[in-house]
Amino acid sequence: MRFDGYFITSDLLDFPNLHERAGALAKTWLRRTVLGVRDVWPEDFPSKKRRLLIVFPCITWVYRMTVFLGIAWLVYYLFFKVLGIVLFMVEIGWFVVLPIWRELRVWFERRSEIKLNRIIIGLGLVGGLIALGFIPWQTTVKSTGWLHATRQHQVFTPTAGKLASMIDFGAAHQVNVQQGEHIFTLTSPDIALNALKSLGMAQSRAAELKGLSGMIDGESKRANLENQQAQLNAEVKLYQDELNRMDLTAPFVGTLQDVDENLTLGTWVQPKQPMAILIDPQSWAADVLVEETEINRIKLGDKAQAYLNDSAFTVLAGVVSEIDTAKLASLQHPMLDAQHGGKIATLPGDKSIPTQGYYKVRVRFNAQPSLHKMTVANVKIETEAKAWLPTVFERVAALFVRESGFKTNHLLYLKLKNHVF
Q: Which residue has the higher pLDDT, 78 or 155?
A: 155
Task: Check: CB of residue 236 under 8 Å from CB of residue 204.
Answer: no
Confidence of residue 82 (pLDDT cuts 50, 70, 90): low
Given this model, what pLDDT does residue 81 score?
62
Given this model, what pLDDT does residue 79 score?
66
pLDDT score of 139 more than 70: yes
Mean pLDDT of 30-38: 78
Least confident of 50-64, 130-144, 221-235: 130-144
pLDDT score of 45 more than 80: yes
User: Which string of DSSP letters, residue by residue, matches 359-391?
Assistant: EEEEEEESS--SS-S-EEEEEEEEEEEE-HHHH
Distance CA 212, CA 217 (A): 8
Q: For residue 311, count CB atoms less than 10 angstroms from its CB and return exposed for 0-12, middle for 13-18, buried for 19 or more.
A: exposed
Confidence of residue 272 (pLDDT cuts 50, 70, 90): confident
Given this model, what pLDDT does residue 399 score?
64
**Neighbour tally for 270: CB within 10 Å:** 10
Sheet holding 175-177, edge to edge: 152-156, 274-279, 254-257, 175-177
Mean pLDDT of 155-166: 88
pLDDT score of 238 more than 80: yes
Given this model, what pLDDT does residue 53 score?
82
pLDDT score of 361 more than 90: yes
Nearest to 369 by CA among 420, 303, 312, 419: 312
Q: Give the percent of the chain with pLDDT over 70.
A: 83
Confidence of residue 408 (pLDDT cuts 50, 70, 90): very low
* Ordered alpha helix ranges (H), 146-301: 189-210, 218-245
SS3 96: helix
Mean pLDDT of 291-314: 83
SS3 408: helix
Mean pLDDT of 223-249: 87
Q: Give the percent of the chain with pLDDT over 90.
A: 14
Given this model, what pLDDT does residue 363 score?
94
Task: Check: CB of residue 323 under 8 Å from CB of residue 363.
Answer: no
Sign of CA pseudo-dihedral 103, 109, 110, 114: positive
Mean pLDDT of 121-146: 77
pTM above 0.85, yes or no: no
**Neighbour tally for 236: CB within 10 Å:** 20
Distance CA 323, CA 287 (A): 10
Q: Please report which helix (H) or strand (E) contains residue 352, including its range.
A: none
Sign of CA pseudo-dihedral 300, 304, 309, 311: positive
Confidence of residue 117 (pLDDT cuts 50, 70, 90): low
pLDDT score of 285 more than 90: yes
Mean pLDDT, rounded, of the chain = 80
Could you read off the pLDDT of 369-407 as tens digits, one per residue? Answer: 888 888 888 999 988 777 767 767 776 666 666 655 544
Beta bridge mates, 317 = 305
pLDDT score of 417 more than 80: no
Given this model, what pLDDT does residue 407 score?
44
Mean pLDDT of 146-158: 89
Q: For residue 109, count CB atoms less than 10 angstroms from its CB and return exposed for 0-12, middle for 13-18, buried for 19 or more.
A: exposed
Q: Please report which helix (H) or strand (E) contains residue 338, including its range.
A: none
**Neighbour tally for 104: CB within 10 Å:** 10
